[in-house]
Structure 1
Amino acid sequence: MKHHVAARFFVALFLALAILPALYVGSACAEQEIIVSAAASLTNAFTEVGKKFEAANPGTKVVLNFAASGPLLQQIEQGAPADVFASADQKTMDQANEKKLILTETRKNFAGNGLVLIVPGDAKTSIKALKDLTLKEITRISVGNPESVPAGRYAEEALTSEGLWETLKPKFILANSVRQVLDYVSRGEVDAGIVYATDAAVAKEKVRVALKLEKHKPILYPIAVVAATRKTDPARRFIDFVLSEEGVEILSKYGFGKP
């Protein structure tokens, strides 16, 4: 009887020891999950980038968190989990750097963009110049909130340079992200909106570009590793992938230019 008890004990011990490595491997795989907080305008491009990165790095999962750059910065500052931060402007990344929320040496510019005025695809009013936005037929214009949305700040710059920002304020429908502006125009809820060229391209069946805006700072997208991450290695590898030939090709596919 004692022999049987002892045998069962050793069998159980053996099974327990055999399971431990599997548990460790499962834990290690879970630790390879990285969270990428990225500007809303990167939604389509980074969704594909994430899938291609996972395919090239078995065991590493990319979780994407898209929003306007300002709110993303606030999330990181408040302790929300994030390993990589990609902003649609330099100002937001500068703020992240000043607050020591990123690893400065990992910061890189990885893409460029343009700014355009769009109207619903079936719009009848013709807009040939920014001053046409003052026409009485144009009653609602959507722009990103300049306090938190980079596209909104670029729009403010461009319209201010033409002396139109204050004049058009009563018509503004402020949005929480550039993609919200795109949605408003796509659904015909506003007469016009200002978005990135890449956003207009995504919805080209529902909106059309009326004008290209030029009087604003160059639109450059920076990316960096979040200082609080415990997954610096995969986070750095993700950035390297974005900057690689394959990453650049994907960004180009969605209309982004080189920085």
Structure 2
Amino acid sequence: NFAASNPLLKQMQEGAPVDVFASADQETMDKAQKAQLIKPESRKNFVSNTVVLIVPAQGKKFGSLAELKKAQRIAVGSPESVPVGRYTRDALKSAGLWETLQPSFIYGNSVRQVLDYVARGEVDAGIVYATDAKQRADKVDVCLTLTGHKPVTYPIAVATTGSNAAMGQAFVDFALSPEGQAILARYGFSKP
């Protein structure tokens, strides 16, 4: 049991509170910092990711973003509330396709919802993080990696809203440690 060999993970498994906030984009963390929900000095980027175009397994492949003009339904995260939606918007704007493709968009309330639409074959394509696509590799195929957006780095920080900031800092330190980074790498994340 991995948790038994690591005191922090053992305490978490036993229900010890961990006061941490992690975000899939900088904008969300910036909002938390502005609202004084995190300790700014504890804020660090702990992983990075990529944004990919996916299709249902064995579905029609798209070799470029421009080929998405042929798609009837494209699942994307809502840019107003879903970090991957903001990266998607920026990438498609950079490619000059955001306005053109909007009539085909099916907006998801989370990256998982977008992934589910594609995995179930309810849409022709979707845009998610590579780590999410990896989790459903049996149901989706990755066509290409998107560019034209800010780097996808995930920040983590100790939250100010709980009662166990020491455990929160221990978790942040663990996430940044070689051991924590090795665990995150197994799920497809890269170093920041």
Taking structure 1 as the reference length, what is the TM-score of the superposition?
0.69
Residue 194 of structure 1 aligns to a residue whose secondary structure is strand
Partner-residue secondary structure (3-state), 1:221: strand
Corresponding residue number in structure 2 for 1:57:
7
2-side partners of 1:220 and 1:177: how far apart?
A: 17
Q: Report the CA distance between 1:57 and its aligned residue.
A: 2.0
Q: Which has the higher contact order (CA 8 A, sep 6+)?
A: 2
Counterpart residue number, 1:92: 28
Cα distance, 1:126 vs structure 2: 3.2
1:4-153 pair list within 5 angstroms: 52=2, 55-57=5-7, 60-61=11-12, 83-123=19-59, 125-135=60-70, 138-153=71-86
Match of residue 164, structure 2, among 212, 216, 231: 231
CA deviation vs aligned residue, 1:152-195 (integer Å, no higher than 9, x gap):
00000000111111111111111111111111101101110000
How far did 1:122 drift?
2.1
Q: What is the aligned counterpart of 2:178 among 236, 245, 259?
A: 245
Unaligned 5+ runs, structure 2: none
Q: Corresponding residue for 1:5?
A: none
User: CA RMSD, aligned part only?
Assistant: 2.0
Report the 3-state secondary structure (helix = DSSP H, G, I; strand = E; otherwise coil) of the residue aligned with 1:100: coil
Q: Which amino acid aligns with 1:130?
A: L
| Aligned-partner Cα distance in 2 for 1:229–1:90 | 22
Query: Partner amino acid for 1:60?
Result: Q
- Segments of structure 1 that go 5 or more residues without pairing to the other structure are 1-50, 65-80
Task: Give the structure with the larger helix fraction.
Answer: 1
Structure 2 equivalent of residue 39 of structure 1: none
Evaluate the alpha carbon distance shift between residue 62 and residue 167 of structure 1 in structure 2; reply closer, same or farther with a 3 A threshold. Answer: farther
Confirm or deny: 8 A CA contact 1:106 1:225 kept in the other structure: yes
Secondary structure (helix, strand or coil) at the match of 1:133 reads helix
Q: Which has the larger radius of gyration?
A: 1
Deviation at 1:61, TM superposition (A): 2.5
Q: Which amino acid aligns with 1:111?
A: V
Q: Distance in 2 between matches of 1:110 and 1:83?
A: 16
Consecutive aligned runs of 4 or more in structure 1 exceeding 3 Å deviation: 51-55
Distance change (3 Å), C-alpha of 1:63 and 1:214: farther
- Residue of structure 2 equivalent to 1:46: none
Identity of aligned residues (%): 54
Residue identity matched to 2:101: L
SS of the residue 1:158 aligns to = helix
